[in-house]
Amino acid sequence: MKVIVAGTAGFCKGVKDALEITLEAIEEREDGEKICTYGPLIHNRQVLDMLESRGIREENQLENCAGKKVVIRAHGIPPSERQKLREIGAMLLDATCKRVARVHAVIKHHARRGYHTVIVGDADHAEVIGLMGYTGGKGVVINRLEQVDELPREWNRVLLVAQTTQNEEIFAQIRDAFERRYPQGVVKKTICDSTHERQAEVRRLCSKVDAMVVVGGYHSGNTVRLAEVARECGIPTYHVETEADLAAHEMARYATVGVSAGASTPNWIIQDVVHFLESIRPEARDQSLRLKQAMEYLVYGNVLAALGAALLTAAAEAFTGLPVSLKDSLIAALYVFAMHTLNIYLDHNAIELNNPGRAEFYHRRKGIFTWTSILAVVGLLWFSLSKNVLTFFAMVLMVALGSLYAVPIPSRLKRLQPVKIKDIPTSKTLLIPLAWAAVTVFVPLLPYLFEAFGRLIYTFWIVFLMVVIRTALMDFLAVQGDRMVGKETLVVLVGETTAARYVAGVLVVLGFFLIAGPLLAKSSHFTYLALPVTAAYGWFLSLCVQKQFKEASMFESMVESVLIGMGMVALLWNALT
């Protein structure tokens, strides 16, 4: 089955901000401090379950929030409830969506001037309940065109607003009738831009597919609207919370299916649905889907990562002009394969959230990967010993350090919990590149440490920068799950926008050193042939910023192909020089 995923599917900015506020509260929580959300933070049961597993309870009664740190839900709450929370000693963390807060301000401003407020939305929705709290008792909620004629004609000051996730076409119809009934009335377009873009994209998708699947909570207003929009386009539409709500035999009737998702739906649930749909009728898969499946095996199996590491040793030879043996390439490849596979099992929580398909891939082949990892370690140590004792001891140290990356290290202080190296902020972004640079540059060229120290350090630095960028690009894919499990990569720590600026800065630094290497006599002119790496990574970074990727395996394979391509050019350079 062919699946087309909407580019706008997944978390909107308001939801992301609400989750970040909540997760930051978790990280900064003091001993004994209780944190809760007043009502569900967002309308997604799976995310709420994850928050509860981290100690964030949902409270729906004001009295249960007394003395706690209380996160105000993304939908907002009425001002009267906010005041009561303060009176019972709650410390408030406001996660109200900024777009919703602006609607609060609009209603409040007009209510003070004596306006009646007409809200187009669902009366029992949390956002609308919050909006009504700002109307000064002069608010009414409608959601059907005929209800406009039921409004009192004598109102001379009337404001019309919409729930931010309202169906645009319904609002447009009600707005036209409102303006005819109240020529002097004020209309404010308060439907969120994100909602507009999602609905518009669903309409476009419906003309290209046989059926639509809309993923999101059944109580999520914006998700319900997306499903309504798809049905209005006249094609079969399925509103589901997870892939478990879909029937394979029913979906098998369609050749092409579109997938969109509400603003509260995390990427890992969207990916679950996509993987499920793509697994239907495998005999009908086209060439592009077969290619995608092959890429998944190469990426999930860490084959591309291992190949990239092996070819980086050829690049190290091309940069320095110093000989690197086939054994060195095999050692680097086996080390990267073994360490990546080992730490996948030790860090399975984040993978299950970020890429369920990948998690399932490893779960089914756990025995195979366990034994191949053990054999890879034995093989790299054997090759190291057959080379020389110094290389052997260097690799024993590298294996020991790599194995400790995700293993809890007991603390001597009883009051402190065991720590993991992977939990140290930005450790992944920095330590993985250090390990790669060590096994692809330092270990192979260890005999030349004193003879060519400058060239060795230069090449180590270049490879380190390249792998920093590679790792950071992967982190953009995993940001949602990493946040949920408290994993502080660079992207999680500073945010996606700031992280993108940092990565762009590293790209500039990499380009500078690639140009400067031959001029400073620290490398061969091969560095000029490596300059396209910066352009390729720059393009991938722009895709991350624009959220122009939905298929993790394809994006990862593209990122890995950069180092592989440079390594192949290095092999040709080494053969000709």
Partners of 2 in beta bridges: 256
Given pLDDT bands bounded at 50, 70 and 90, which one contains residue 416?
Answer: very low
- If asked whether residues 259 and 318 sit together in one domain, one would say no
- 186 and 251, same domain (yes or no): no
d(CA 391, CA 398): 10
Which is higher by pLDDT, 383 or 295? Answer: 383
Whether 534 maps to a domain, the answer reads yes
CB atoms inside a 10 Å sphere around CB 137? 8
Cβ count within 10 A of residue 75: 27
Taking Cα atoms as reference points, which of 272, 267, 214, 258 lies closest to residue 238? Answer: 214
For residues 366 and 478, membership in a common domain is answered with yes
The reported pLDDT for the residue numbered 386 is: 93
Query: Among 332, 333, 343, 494, which residue's Cα sits nearest to residue 406?
Result: 343
Per-residue confidence (pLDDT) for residue 417, from 0 to 100 = 47
* Cα pseudo-dihedral 146, 148, 153, 155, rounded to 10: 160
Quick one: pLDDT band at residue 302, thresholds 50, 70, 90? confident
Mind listing the pLDDT tens digit for each residue in 218-274?
888 888 889 999 999 999 999 999 888 998 888 888 989 999 998 888 887 888 888
- CA-nearest of 536, 478, 489, 547 to 510 is 536
**DSSP calls for 107-149:** HHHHHHTT-EEEEES-TTSHHHHHHHTTTTT-EEEE-SGGGGG
Q: How confident is the model at residue 354 (pLDDT cuts 50, 70, 90)?
A: low
Q: Determine, yes or no, domain membership for 459.
A: yes
Average pLDDT in the chain:
85
Q: What is the pLDDT of residues 188-201, one digit of tens each?
A: 999 988 888 888 89
Residues 220, 161, single domain; the answer is no
Range scoring the smallest mean pLDDT among 14-18, 373-377, 417-421, 471-475: 417-421
- Give yes or no: residues 92 and 180 share one domain: no
Three-state DSSP class for residue 340:
helix
Residues 73, 206, single domain; the answer is no
C-alpha distance across the termini of the chain, in Å? 49
Domain span at 200: 194-286
* Ranges assigned E (strand) in 298-449: none
In this structure, are strands 139-142 and 211-215 parallel, antiparallel, or unpaired?
Answer: unpaired
CATH at 24: 3.40.50.11270
Residues 304 and 382 in one domain: yes
Cα–Cα distance between 354 and 553 in angstroms, integer? 12
Q: Which of 541, 569, 567 is nearest to 555 (CA)?
A: 541
- The answer to whether position 49 is within a domain reads yes
460 touches 437 (CB < 8 A): yes
Dihedral pair phi/psi, residue 392, rounded to 5°: -60, -50
Token pair of 297, please?
């095996």
What are 145's strand-pairing partners? none
Where is the domain boundary, 176, 191, 206? 191
The whole-angstrom separation of Cα 563 and Cα 283 is 34
Give the least confident one: 43-47, 91-95, 453-457.
43-47
Place of tokens 């499990």: 485
- State the Rg of the chain over Cα: 28
Q: Which of 78, 96, 114 is the last residue of a domain?
A: 96
Q: Is residue 462 part of a domain?
A: yes
Q: Is residue 526 within 8 Å of residue 465, measured between CB atoms?
A: no
Convert the pLDDT of each residue in 516-529 to its tens digit: 999 999 999 999 99
Reported confidence tier of residue 476, pLDDT bands at 50, 70, 90: confident
On whether residue 7 sits in a domain, the answer given is no
User: Annotated catalytic sites, by residue?
Assistant: 127
* Structure token pair of residue 491: 């992207």
**Do 367 and 449 fall within a single domain?**
yes
Same domain, yes or no: 211 and 199: yes
pTM: 0.62
Kindly report the CATH number assigned to the domain that includes residue 265.
Answer: 3.40.1010.20
Residue 168 covered by a domain = yes
Q: Any idea of the CA torsion for 383, 384, 388, 391, to the nearest 10 degrees? A: 160
Among 218, 253, 286, give the residue marking a domain's end. 286
Nearest Cα to Cα of residue 307 among 111, 110, 561? 561
Q: Are 77 and 156 found together in one domain?
A: no
What's the CA gap between 55 and 28, in Å, rounded? 13
Residues 481 and 337 in one domain: yes
Total of domains in the chain: 4
Residues 220 and 112 reside in one and the same domain: no
Whether 274 contacts 259, CB under 8 Å: yes
Residue in the structure block whose two tokens are 């086939």: 326
521 CA to centre of own chain: 42
Q: Residue 493 falls within a domain, yes or no?
A: yes
Q: Is the residue at 531 inside a domain?
A: yes
pLDDT tens for 93-105 read 999 999 999 999 9
SS3 411: coil
Calculate the CA 549 to chain-centre distance: 10
Q: Rounded to whole angstroms, how far apart are CA atoms 212 and 5? A: 10
